[in-house]
Amino acid sequence: MDIHQFEYITRLAETQSITRTAEQMFISPSALSQHLSKLENDLGTPLFKRVKGWPLTEAGRIYVGASHDIIQRFRLMKKDIGDIAACESGVINVGISSIKSSLMFADIFPKFKERYPKIKLHLTEGRSRDICVLVEQGHLDMAFSSSGFDFPNLDFQVLLRERFVLSVPKTHRFAYLVNDAPKNGLPFIDLNLLKDEPFMLTTPDLTIRVVTDRMFDEAGFTPNVLFELNAKTLYNLVDSGCGISIIPMGHIRENSASVYFLTTPLGEFDNIVVYAKGNRLSRAEEYFISLAKEFFETKYGYLNA
Protein backbone atom coordinates (compact mmCIF):
# COMPACT_ATOMS: atom_id res chain seq x y z
CA MET A 1 0.00 0.00 0.00
CA ASP A 2 1.42 3.40 -1.02
CA ILE A 3 0.45 5.68 1.85
CA HIS A 4 1.97 8.64 -0.01
CA GLN A 5 -1.10 8.91 -2.25
CA PHE A 6 -3.04 9.99 0.83
CA GLU A 7 -0.24 12.05 2.40
CA TYR A 8 0.22 14.12 -0.77
CA ILE A 9 -3.41 15.26 -0.74
CA THR A 10 -3.67 15.93 3.00
CA ARG A 11 -0.43 17.95 2.88
CA LEU A 12 -1.68 19.94 -0.12
CA ALA A 13 -4.86 20.72 1.81
CA GLU A 14 -2.69 22.04 4.68
CA THR A 15 -0.15 24.06 2.68
CA GLN A 16 -2.54 25.23 -0.07
CA SER A 17 0.49 25.25 -2.38
CA ILE A 18 1.71 22.70 -4.94
CA THR A 19 5.27 24.05 -4.62
CA ARG A 20 5.45 23.88 -0.79
CA THR A 21 3.80 20.46 -0.73
CA ALA A 22 6.26 19.12 -3.30
CA GLU A 23 9.20 20.48 -1.29
CA GLN A 24 7.94 18.95 1.95
CA MET A 25 7.17 15.58 0.34
CA PHE A 26 10.44 15.48 -1.63
CA ILE A 27 8.92 15.18 -5.10
CA SER A 28 8.79 17.57 -8.05
CA PRO A 29 5.80 19.91 -8.48
CA SER A 30 5.10 18.35 -11.90
CA ALA A 31 5.02 14.84 -10.41
CA LEU A 32 2.64 16.02 -7.68
CA SER A 33 0.37 17.69 -10.26
CA GLN A 34 0.33 14.50 -12.33
CA HIS A 35 -0.54 12.44 -9.26
CA LEU A 36 -3.41 14.78 -8.39
CA SER A 37 -4.77 14.78 -11.96
CA LYS A 38 -4.66 10.98 -12.18
CA LEU A 39 -6.37 10.61 -8.80
CA GLU A 40 -9.14 13.04 -9.78
CA ASN A 41 -9.61 11.20 -13.10
CA ASP A 42 -9.88 7.90 -11.23
CA LEU A 43 -12.43 9.37 -8.81
CA GLY A 44 -14.32 11.15 -11.57
CA THR A 45 -14.43 14.50 -9.74
CA PRO A 46 -12.01 17.28 -8.72
CA LEU A 47 -10.73 17.42 -5.14
CA PHE A 48 -9.49 21.02 -5.27
CA LYS A 49 -10.80 24.20 -6.87
CA ARG A 50 -8.24 25.65 -9.26
CA VAL A 51 -8.12 29.10 -7.67
CA LYS A 52 -5.68 30.81 -5.29
CA GLY A 53 -5.36 28.91 -2.03
CA TRP A 54 -6.43 25.57 -3.55
CA PRO A 55 -9.67 25.27 -1.53
CA LEU A 56 -11.14 21.78 -1.22
CA THR A 57 -14.28 20.77 -3.06
CA GLU A 58 -16.95 18.83 -1.19
CA ALA A 59 -15.43 15.62 -2.57
CA GLY A 60 -12.02 16.85 -1.47
CA ARG A 61 -13.18 17.39 2.11
CA ILE A 62 -14.51 13.82 2.20
CA TYR A 63 -11.27 12.47 0.71
CA VAL A 64 -9.02 14.40 3.13
CA GLY A 65 -11.10 13.37 6.16
CA ALA A 66 -10.92 9.71 5.17
CA SER A 67 -7.21 10.04 4.35
CA HIS A 68 -6.38 11.22 7.87
CA ASP A 69 -8.06 8.08 9.25
CA ILE A 70 -6.25 5.84 6.75
CA ILE A 71 -2.86 7.40 7.52
CA GLN A 72 -3.35 6.97 11.27
CA ARG A 73 -4.49 3.36 10.86
CA PHE A 74 -1.55 2.65 8.58
CA ARG A 75 0.88 4.01 11.18
CA LEU A 76 -0.76 1.96 13.93
CA MET A 77 -0.47 -1.12 11.73
CA LYS A 78 3.24 -0.44 11.20
CA LYS A 79 3.69 -0.08 14.96
CA ASP A 80 1.92 -3.38 15.59
CA ILE A 81 4.10 -5.12 13.05
CA GLY A 82 7.16 -3.40 14.46
CA ASP A 83 6.29 -4.65 17.95
CA ILE A 84 5.93 -8.18 16.62
CA ALA A 85 9.41 -7.83 15.18
CA ALA A 86 10.64 -6.63 18.59
CA CYS A 87 10.86 -3.06 17.30
CA GLU A 88 14.14 -3.77 15.56
CA SER A 89 13.61 -1.10 12.91
CA GLY A 90 11.53 1.98 12.16
CA VAL A 91 11.49 5.73 12.64
CA ILE A 92 10.28 7.88 15.55
CA ASN A 93 9.69 11.55 14.75
CA VAL A 94 10.31 13.64 17.87
CA GLY A 95 9.74 17.37 18.45
CA ILE A 96 11.45 19.45 21.14
CA SER A 97 10.78 23.04 22.10
CA SER A 98 12.87 24.09 25.08
CA ILE A 99 16.38 24.18 26.45
CA LYS A 100 15.47 21.50 29.00
CA SER A 101 14.07 19.17 26.33
CA SER A 102 17.20 19.61 24.20
CA LEU A 103 19.34 18.67 27.21
CA MET A 104 17.03 15.71 27.76
CA PHE A 105 17.42 14.52 24.17
CA ALA A 106 21.21 14.73 24.37
CA ASP A 107 21.16 12.72 27.60
CA ILE A 108 18.79 9.90 26.61
CA PHE A 109 19.71 9.49 22.94
CA PRO A 110 22.70 7.17 23.61
CA LYS A 111 20.64 5.05 26.04
CA PHE A 112 17.83 4.68 23.53
CA LYS A 113 20.18 3.73 20.69
CA GLU A 114 21.84 1.13 22.90
CA ARG A 115 18.52 -0.74 23.21
CA TYR A 116 17.13 0.06 19.75
CA PRO A 117 20.16 0.54 17.49
CA LYS A 118 18.18 0.11 14.24
CA ILE A 119 15.45 2.62 15.06
CA LYS A 120 16.04 6.08 13.62
CA LEU A 121 15.13 9.20 15.58
CA HIS A 122 14.20 12.23 13.50
CA LEU A 123 14.38 15.44 15.53
CA THR A 124 12.42 18.64 14.89
CA GLU A 125 12.97 21.81 16.93
CA GLY A 126 10.36 24.54 17.22
CA ARG A 127 8.09 26.54 19.47
CA SER A 128 5.75 24.63 21.79
CA ARG A 129 2.59 25.48 19.85
CA ASP A 130 4.18 24.72 16.48
CA ILE A 131 5.45 21.25 17.34
CA CYS A 132 2.10 20.37 18.96
CA VAL A 133 0.42 21.30 15.67
CA LEU A 134 2.84 18.99 13.86
CA VAL A 135 1.85 16.13 16.18
CA GLU A 136 -1.83 16.92 15.62
CA GLN A 137 -1.28 16.86 11.85
CA GLY A 138 0.53 13.54 12.06
CA HIS A 139 3.98 14.83 11.04
CA LEU A 140 5.50 14.04 14.46
CA ASP A 141 4.94 10.98 16.65
CA MET A 142 5.50 12.91 19.88
CA ALA A 143 6.67 16.30 21.10
CA PHE A 144 8.25 17.50 24.33
CA SER A 145 6.54 20.77 25.06
CA SER A 146 4.97 22.82 27.83
CA SER A 147 1.37 23.24 28.89
CA GLY A 148 -0.70 26.31 28.17
CA PHE A 149 -2.28 25.41 24.83
CA ASP A 150 -5.48 23.51 24.11
CA PHE A 151 -5.20 20.67 21.59
CA PRO A 152 -8.28 18.44 21.96
CA ASN A 153 -6.86 15.80 19.59
CA LEU A 154 -3.72 15.24 21.67
CA ASP A 155 -2.99 13.23 24.79
CA PHE A 156 -0.15 14.13 27.14
CA GLN A 157 1.87 12.98 30.12
CA VAL A 158 3.29 15.42 32.68
CA LEU A 159 7.05 15.14 33.11
CA LEU A 160 7.60 18.04 35.50
CA ARG A 161 5.52 20.78 37.11
CA GLU A 162 7.64 23.89 37.42
CA ARG A 163 7.10 27.15 39.28
CA PHE A 164 8.15 30.54 38.00
CA VAL A 165 10.40 32.89 39.95
CA LEU A 166 11.01 36.61 39.94
CA SER A 167 14.65 37.56 39.35
CA VAL A 168 16.12 40.90 40.41
CA PRO A 169 19.77 42.02 40.21
CA LYS A 170 21.71 41.75 43.46
CA THR A 171 22.14 45.54 43.28
CA HIS A 172 18.37 46.18 43.19
CA ARG A 173 16.71 47.94 46.14
CA PHE A 174 14.52 44.89 46.85
CA ALA A 175 17.38 42.36 46.72
CA TYR A 176 17.85 42.52 50.50
CA LEU A 177 14.44 40.83 50.92
CA VAL A 178 16.07 37.55 49.89
CA ASN A 179 17.41 37.44 53.45
CA ASP A 180 13.86 36.58 54.55
CA ALA A 181 14.07 33.24 52.73
CA PRO A 182 13.10 30.11 54.65
CA LYS A 183 15.90 27.70 55.46
CA ASN A 184 15.31 25.39 52.49
CA GLY A 185 13.52 27.54 49.95
CA LEU A 186 12.97 30.90 48.32
CA PRO A 187 11.29 33.94 49.88
CA PHE A 188 7.95 35.23 48.57
CA ILE A 189 7.42 38.72 47.18
CA ASP A 190 4.25 40.51 46.09
CA LEU A 191 4.49 41.18 42.36
CA ASN A 192 2.69 44.49 42.87
CA LEU A 193 5.77 45.88 44.60
CA LEU A 194 7.42 45.93 41.17
CA LYS A 195 4.54 47.27 39.08
CA ASP A 196 6.49 50.42 38.19
CA GLU A 197 9.72 48.57 37.36
CA PRO A 198 10.87 47.71 33.80
CA PHE A 199 10.75 43.99 32.97
CA MET A 200 12.74 41.86 30.56
CA LEU A 201 10.34 39.27 29.11
CA THR A 202 10.25 36.66 26.38
CA THR A 203 8.49 37.32 23.09
CA PRO A 204 4.68 36.94 23.19
CA ASP A 205 4.70 33.74 21.09
CA LEU A 206 6.47 31.67 23.77
CA THR A 207 4.72 29.63 26.47
CA ILE A 208 6.77 31.37 29.16
CA ARG A 209 5.20 34.68 28.15
CA VAL A 210 1.71 33.16 28.28
CA VAL A 211 2.36 32.27 31.93
CA THR A 212 3.97 35.59 32.88
CA ASP A 213 1.18 37.61 31.23
CA ARG A 214 -1.34 35.60 33.25
CA MET A 215 0.61 36.42 36.42
CA PHE A 216 0.53 40.14 35.61
CA ASP A 217 -3.21 39.95 34.90
CA GLU A 218 -3.81 38.31 38.27
CA ALA A 219 -1.64 40.95 39.95
CA GLY A 220 -3.77 43.64 38.30
CA PHE A 221 -1.22 45.62 36.30
CA THR A 222 0.37 45.79 32.85
CA PRO A 223 4.17 45.55 33.02
CA ASN A 224 6.55 48.13 31.66
CA VAL A 225 8.42 45.97 29.12
CA LEU A 226 12.07 46.89 28.66
CA PHE A 227 13.03 44.02 26.31
CA GLU A 228 11.22 41.17 24.54
CA LEU A 229 13.75 38.40 23.93
CA ASN A 230 14.13 34.74 23.05
CA ALA A 231 14.39 32.50 26.10
CA LYS A 232 18.11 31.77 25.88
CA THR A 233 19.07 35.46 25.65
CA LEU A 234 16.72 36.30 28.51
CA TYR A 235 18.27 33.66 30.79
CA ASN A 236 21.76 34.96 29.99
CA LEU A 237 20.76 38.55 30.84
CA VAL A 238 19.10 37.39 34.06
CA ASP A 239 22.21 35.44 35.00
CA SER A 240 24.30 38.57 34.41
CA GLY A 241 22.03 40.69 36.60
CA CYS A 242 20.98 42.97 33.75
CA GLY A 243 17.40 43.52 34.86
CA ILE A 244 14.17 42.21 36.37
CA SER A 245 12.41 39.22 34.89
CA ILE A 246 10.21 36.19 35.56
CA ILE A 247 11.57 32.79 34.50
CA PRO A 248 10.96 29.08 35.17
CA MET A 249 12.74 27.96 38.34
CA GLY A 250 14.76 25.35 36.46
CA HIS A 251 16.81 28.11 34.84
CA ILE A 252 18.25 29.51 38.06
CA ARG A 253 22.02 29.28 37.70
CA GLU A 254 24.71 28.99 40.32
CA ASN A 255 26.78 32.11 40.95
CA SER A 256 24.13 34.25 39.27
CA ALA A 257 24.26 38.02 39.58
CA SER A 258 20.52 37.95 40.38
CA VAL A 259 18.51 36.88 43.41
CA TYR A 260 15.22 34.99 43.12
CA PHE A 261 11.78 35.07 44.71
CA LEU A 262 8.58 33.10 44.49
CA THR A 263 5.75 35.48 43.74
CA THR A 264 2.24 36.30 44.75
CA PRO A 265 0.40 35.48 42.55
CA LEU A 266 2.14 32.21 41.70
CA GLY A 267 3.00 31.12 38.18
CA GLU A 268 3.71 27.60 36.97
CA PHE A 269 3.50 25.32 33.96
CA ASP A 270 3.94 21.64 33.13
CA ASN A 271 6.71 20.18 31.02
CA ILE A 272 4.86 17.54 29.01
CA VAL A 273 5.14 14.99 26.23
CA VAL A 274 2.24 14.98 23.76
CA TYR A 275 1.09 12.46 21.16
CA ALA A 276 -2.04 11.85 19.09
CA LYS A 277 -5.16 10.95 21.06
CA GLY A 278 -6.06 7.29 20.58
CA ASN A 279 -2.60 6.54 19.23
CA ARG A 280 -1.13 3.39 20.78
CA LEU A 281 2.51 3.94 21.58
CA SER A 282 5.00 1.34 20.41
CA ARG A 283 7.32 -0.30 22.92
CA ALA A 284 10.18 1.80 21.57
CA GLU A 285 8.18 5.03 22.02
CA GLU A 286 7.17 4.00 25.54
CA TYR A 287 10.81 3.33 26.34
CA PHE A 288 11.84 6.73 24.96
CA ILE A 289 9.24 8.45 27.14
CA SER A 290 10.33 6.43 30.19
CA LEU A 291 13.90 7.66 29.66
CA ALA A 292 12.59 11.23 29.41
CA LYS A 293 10.66 10.84 32.69
CA GLU A 294 13.77 9.46 34.37
CA PHE A 295 15.84 12.41 33.10
CA PHE A 296 13.39 15.04 34.37
CA GLU A 297 12.97 13.31 37.71
CA THR A 298 16.72 12.92 38.24
CA LYS A 299 17.80 16.38 37.05
CA TYR A 300 14.80 18.54 37.91
CA GLY A 301 12.74 16.54 40.42
CA TYR A 302 13.50 19.06 43.15
CA LEU A 303 11.49 21.64 41.18
CA ASN A 304 8.16 19.83 41.30
CA ALA A 305 5.64 22.36 42.56
Residue at 137 is within a domain: no
Domain end position, chosen among 21, 55, 84: 84
For residue range 29-77, list pLDDT tens digits in order.
899 899 899 998 989 999 999 988 899 999 999 999 888 888 888 877 7
Residue at 192 is within a domain: yes
* pLDDT for res 26: 86
Residue at 300 is within a domain: no
Q: How confident is the model at residue 188 (pLDDT cuts 50, 70, 90)?
A: very high
What domain range includes position 205? 161-269
Distance CA 82, CA 88 (A): 7
Burial state string for 202-219 with b = 16 or more CB within 10 A and e = fewer than 16: beeebbbbbbbbebbeeb
Closest of 111, 154, 163, 86 to residue 294, by C-alpha: 111
* pLDDT for res 200: 96
Report if pTM > 0.75: no
Residue at 102 is within a domain: no
Domain end position, chosen among 84, 112, 130: 84
Q: How confident is the model at residue 273 (pLDDT cuts 50, 70, 90)?
A: very high
For residue range 247-272, list pLDDT tens digits in order.
999 888 888 999 999 999 999 999 99
**Domain holding 173: CATH number?**
3.40.190.10
Residue at 199 is within a domain: yes
Query: What residues contact 113, with CB distance under 8 A and at least 6 apart?
Result: 119, 121
79 shares its domain with 165: no
Residue 304: is its pLDDT beyond 70? no
> How many domains, the chain?
2
Lowest model confidence (mean pLDDT) among 90-104, 180-194, 234-248: 180-194
Residue at 291 is within a domain: no
